[in-house]
Each structure stands twice: as C-alpha cells, then as structure tokens.
Chains A and B, each alone.
Chain A
Amino acid sequence: MNSTFEAAAAAAPGGEPTPAHAPTGRTLLMLVRREFWENRYLWCAPLAVAVLIALSPLLGHGELHLPPFANAESRVALSTLVQWGLLIPLSVVMVICVSYYLLDCLYAERRDRSILFWKSLPLSDRLTVGAKVLVALLVVPLGVCLLGVLAHVVFSVLIDVRLALRGLPAPLAFNLLEWFRTELALLLMMLLAMLWYAPLSAYLLLISAWARRSPFLWAALPLALAPLLERIVFGSHYLWSFLTYRWKGIWQLLALGHTQIVSHDHVRSVGTLLDDLNFREAFTDVDLWLGVAVAVALVLLAVRVRRYRDDT
C-alpha cells in the first residue's frame, strides 16, 4: 500500500505541462471584477452621488453670493474648497458601502452557498480574500477620488456657464498647481484613513468570515458592549479611550483641527494643508503601522476561517 502512495505522489507533478494556475495578475483582476459584478452598489452608489453633485449647479436658482474678498487668489482657493467639499458626500457614501461590503462579502457567499462554486475553481483562499481587501481598501477609494475629480470638473464648468449666461463673474478659478496640491492632500488623507482604519476593516472582514448569522450584530455588539461592561465591572474606561483613539487619533496627530481654511475674512487653498498638516509624523506613526500589522493578522485569520469553515 505504501508504494501506491509513493507512486501516486511521484507521478503527480509529471503530468501534462498545463500550468496549475492562470497568471496571478489576471486571476486577481478577474476576482476584483467579480466583486463589482456581485456588489453593484460599490460602484453604483458613489457614481449616483457623483452625478448628483456634479449636476447640482443645474438645480436651484444659481444665485451664488460671493464673499466680499473675491480676488483672484481667493477664487482659486474657493475652487479647491469645492474640490474638497464635493469629496465629502462621496466619502460618506463610500464608508457606508465599504463597511457593508466588508461585513457581507464572506458571509453572503456562505449564506447562498456559492462558496462551493468559487471553491471548485483553482483559486486560493488567500487570493480570494486578498482581492476583497484590495477592492475595499484601494480600488473603491481610488475610484471615489477619481469620481470626485470628474464631479469637480463638471460642477465647476456648470457653475461658470450658468453664471456667465446671466452675465455674472465666474466665482471659481482653476489653477493647475493648486488643484494638484489639493488633490495630493486629499489623496494622502484618503490613504491615511485607509491605513488607520485597516484594523477595523479587517475586523469586519473576519466577522464576515466567521459569523453563522447576523454578522452586523456580531460586529457591533463587542464594540458597544465591551466598553460598557468594563465601565460596569471595573469602573474604568480604557477600552472606550482606546476605541476613541482608534477612531480619531490619527487626525489629531495630523493636526487637522488646528488649521483654518476658511476664516471670516479669508479663504486659503486646501492645497496649503500639505504644508500645514503633519503628514510626515502621521505616516511614520508607530500606532498606524501597528494597526496595519494587526489588520494583516486579522485578514490572514479570515483567510484561515474561510479555508476551514465547514458549514455549507
């Protein structure tokens, strides 16, 4: 009997020269596309919001009351402010979509048992879960930034045209350098947010891989109950402080609250944030990278759970 095993083992690699896997890059691309086929809200919702805000100048009466200090410099600054402002509703929608996605993706495939189909293909659990992380933490945020840029362009043109038709001066002025500096600042903040909240994202993914039912409840309960229990049982609030720290610590470090873009008599370009904020300190913060390390560990755990969970 032993010889049978050895013979089988020895013969295995010597088959036809067909590779065991499609190229990893192509597979990953396919896996990412798959996520957008399945979870259409990931692109539909941001796109709808982008279209809505891009076309918003068409609504309303088009009366834009310019501040009294509307010189050329502040019109550029105002444009960058719009550039930033438009990204805020997009980011809110993105956070909702991505959180839901992370909490649902590994749960949904077990609920409808389609995991058995995905697992019938030569796809490693690591690559599959990796594609989901990539979608949530990179593809969707970058896509949202791109949508923000496009929305900003359309929005600005529509505002200018609308006011020009009434013979009013254009309130926004485009300046490539300031646009670029602003875009860079926004991208850096987006990247920072993705890194800082990576452990939370990975936590949601792990719950999604692990929960037998109601992943939302399983994700929310520990976060809500643990600090409460600590308060009741020990009278302390370390957990609560920790959670609040993980919520806003990086923004305090970045000193986001201390800069003033808009004051009562002045508007500054958002691009000046590049000089004012502590990006260097934020990106080299130990807690940031500790969090990323924890996130990696949690994702690997989710991979393991997906590999061995046997409840279909």
Chain B
Amino acid sequence: MTTVIEARGLTKSYGATRALDDVSFSVGPGRIVGLIGPNGAGKTTALKAILGLTTFEGELRVLGIDPRAQRDALMSEVCFIADVAVLPRWLKVSQALSFCAGVHPRFDRARAEEFLSRTDIHLTSRVRELSKGMVTQLHLALIMAIDARLLVLDEPTLGLDLLYRRRFYDTLLNDYFDKERTIVLTTHQVEEVENLFTDVIFINHGRVVLAAAVEELGQRYQQVTLAGEQAARGRALRPFYEREVFGRVAMLFEGRSAAELGALGELRTPSIADLFVAKMQETGST
C-alpha cells in the first residue's frame, strides 16, 4: 500500500514565529493518527499544509499529490472539518445536501440522509437554527457520505458537550472508518480519544517531538509507580519525567527493559495523555 501522507522538512513561518520547523512524518493507509500538541504548536498549520490551504517550504505528498499544485484534484479524495463550525449559517440542510451532491463526484446523498434521519436535524432547517452539536452532526453527515481516502479533523468536537463528543467519535469509528481510509485528527481532549488512535504524532514549537504507532509505545516507553522512598533508585535510571501522586512517584522511562524497571515498582505502559504531558515538559512547554 502507498503512503497517504509523506512530509519532509515542512517549514512555515508567520513573521518571526516558526509555526513549522523542519517537520517530517509519514502516514500510512488505514491509520487513525492523532496530531497532538499544545495551543500554537503548529498542529493547525500542519493540517493546513496537508490540505493545501497555506504555503510552506519543504516536500509534501498527500495521496501522491502536491497539495500546493493540485488542490482541487486532491479535495475529491480528501475531506476535512476545520476547528470550528464552518458551515455557513444561511445554508439549509437540504441545500447542503444538494450542493455536495452537485459538486462532489464521490458524495452519496442517500447515505447522508440516512445518517441525518438518526438525528433531530430537519432537512428544512437552516444551519443558524441548529445547536452547535447538531451543526457538527450535520457536517459529519456530509463528510461521511463522501467516499474519501483521507479525512482530516481539526478539533472537530471543540465546544461540544460530552454526549455529542462521544457520539461523534462512535459514529466515526463504527460507520466510517475502515482499513482503506485514513483519519488525521487533532484534539485537546486526548484522554477521551486516546483509544481511537493507531498512531500519534506529538508536536511542540513547530517540531515533531514523537511520532510512533501506538503499539510501539509499550516497547519504547515505560511508566513505573514507586513509593516515595524508592525515588532515588528510580532516578538513577534517568526517567525523563516524574510526577508525584498521593505520596507515590510516577516516573516515565524510555527504552528500559521490563526486568530493569519491574524491580522498582508497579510497571505499566504510560497513557498517551501522560506521555504527552511528559514530552511537552521535556521539550519546554507548560
């Protein structure tokens, strides 16, 4: 199978700020990639580059296409939802369906209608009459009816309550995702969706801090929780992050063997959220 996204040396500056600083990564088909970083880390800029919405330096191929040169061709195979509701407020639901059906060769109107029938959204409503959650559902319905190979979601559930967020990701996973498709997702709510990811890319200050498949993480990173008096022994093995929890200390290690660490205390694979916090602190961000 071919690579879906291949980025090498992406660099982009806004004035003196480097939004992307020599960023390289690749994404294969059938993956769900979490692009994770603090505010202003460059996530959105990276996504914009992938979608051909911004200029940049470096080499980038999305589905074999340079997004700078052939944006509109790319968009028939790529879908995206930007970080806030961008459906125009005047648009009627029925108009949204007609429009997508009219301009998108891979849009399946029946599928979108079927999905909408499971929600409280009426075809005659205008976007401005819908709640924020419903607008996201509508957008998801449109996106899911498009037979695209790559779906890019930039904070798609920002500002939604837990019920809508959960429903959003459940629908995405159950009704949309399959082995042919790839999803790239940025989010602030890492804990909520970390089970979703097959790959994570951590980005901070415009640089890739970590890029790995989730199944590799267990081999590369270990978390040991040990009693406070054992801390010195743990520190001898040079953890890259430690945190005190209820008198016990949780330490994160990279590339240590289970035998080495098991003797210290309770050993487990760190959660993506813990790893993220650790990596961000290590690379200078709070």
Report A's interface with B, CB cutoff 8 A: 1, 4-5, 7-13, 15, 18-22, 26-27, 29-31, 33-34, 37-38, 109, 112-117, 119-125, 307-308, 310, 312
B79 within 8 A of A: yes
Contact segment of B47-55, B220-228, B230-238:
B47-55
**CB < 8 Å: which of A34, A113, A115, A119 contacts B84?**
A113
A11-B2, A37-B92, A119-B75 as given contacts; A19 in contact with B105, CB under 8 Å: yes
B210 within 8 A of A: no
**Contact assessment for B75 and A122 in the assembled complex, using a CB-CB cutoff below 8 Å:** yes
**Chain B residue with minimal CB distance to A34?**
B99
Extra contacts besides A119-B51, A122-B75 (9): CB < 8 Å: A4-B3, A4-B6, A30-B98, A109-B88, A117-B86, A120-B51, A124-B72, A310-B54, A312-B82
**Contact assessment for A114 and B103 in the assembled complex, using a CB-CB cutoff below 8 Å:** no
**CB < 8 Å: which of A1, A12, A38, A124 contacts B90?**
A38
B61 within 8 A of A: yes
Using an 8 Å CB-CB cutoff, how does the interface string of B50-68 with A read, 1 for contact, 0 for none?
0101110001010111000
**CB < 8 Å: which of A9, A38, A109, A119 contacts B64?**
A9
Q: State A20–B70 Cα separation when bound (angstroms).
A: 11
Q: What number of residue pairs across chains A and B have CB atoms under 8 A from each other? A: 118
Give min CB distance, B276 to chain A, whole Å. Answer: 26
Interface majority SS on A: helix, strand, loop or mixed?
A: helix
**Contact assessment for A117 and B105 in the assembled complex, using a CB-CB cutoff below 8 Å:** no
9 cross-chain CB contacts under 8 A:
A4-B6, A26-B102, A114-B87, A116-B53, A120-B75, A122-B72, A122-B75, A124-B71, A307-B71
B212 within 8 A of A: no
A4-B6, A119-B53, A308-B55 as given contacts; A38 in contact with B105, CB under 8 Å: no
**Chain B residue with minimal CB distance to A27?**
B103
Q: State A120–B48 Cα separation when bound (angstroms).
A: 11
| A-chain residues with CB within 8 Å of residue B139 when the two chains form the complex | 117
B258 within 8 A of A: no
A4-B6, A11-B2 as given contacts; A114 in contact with B106, CB under 8 Å: no
| B-chain residues with CB within 8 Å of residue A33 when the two chains form the complex | 102
Give min CB distance, B184 to chain A, whole Å. Answer: 14
